[in-house]
Structure 1
Amino acid sequence: MPSQGNGTQGQASEPLETRSPEAFVRLADRFIDVANRANRKVPATDIHMAFLYAAARYNAHVGRNVRDVADHEVYVEEMAGIYKEMLRTHLADPDV
């Protein structure tokens, strides 16, 4: 079932760091919308695991093929740390 991708690097025209926070949130909201639509027929517990799988798969692609990371374990720790901080922030948000 793993996606083979579209064969392109898919690099953005400008780095994420230079885009507005609003554009970043709009992009994230598109993924959340996909999850919300899927949740009409699929349990949220299944969706969240599918999203984790997809994020891991896509981040592996970026790490290997776009960023060409030399040390995979350092990259794994970097991604895990970012995820943990984002998760903590959202769990503390009363509007979630």
Structure 2
Amino acid sequence: MDSTATEKFVRLADRFVRTANKANAKIPATEVHMAFLYGAARYNAFVAKNVIDVADHEAFVTEMAATYSEMLRNHLADPNV
């Protein structure tokens, strides 16, 4: 991903985080984070089935779980989070 695409990607991700933070003003973070995880799973299932037409759902689940695990580990290691 080039730097412009990376910046757009991070700005989009930051919009999701701002939405979560806004929801957290009225809803406990423990509920917000599970709702976001559920929403991400639902959206990724939609994309897999309707946009990229994934034939092997289990392979896609494995790939998405590995990607999420790496992203989560990177953020947990970030002292600024």
Structure 2: give runs of 5+ residues left out of the alignment.
none
1:22-74 CA distance string (max 9 Å, x none): 11100000000000000000000000000000000000000000010000000
- Residue-pair matches, total: 80
Q: Runs of 4 or more off by more than 6 Å in structure 1? A: none
User: Aligned AA for 2:67?
Assistant: I
Q: Which one-letter code corresponds to 2:26 in the other structure?
A: K
Is residue 95 of structure 1 aligned with residue 80 of structure 2? Answer: yes
Q: TM-score, normalised by structure 2?
A: 0.95
Work out whether 1:30 is the aligned partner of 2:15: yes
Query: How far off is 1:95 after superposition?
Result: 0.2
- TM-score w.r.t. the length of structure 1 is 0.80
Q: CA RMSD in A?
A: 1.1
Aligned residues with identical type, % of pairs: 66
Residue segments in structure 1 that go unaligned for 5+ positions in a row: 1-16
More helix by proportion, 1 or 2? 2
Which structure is higher in RCO with an 8 Å CA cutoff and minimum separation 6? 1
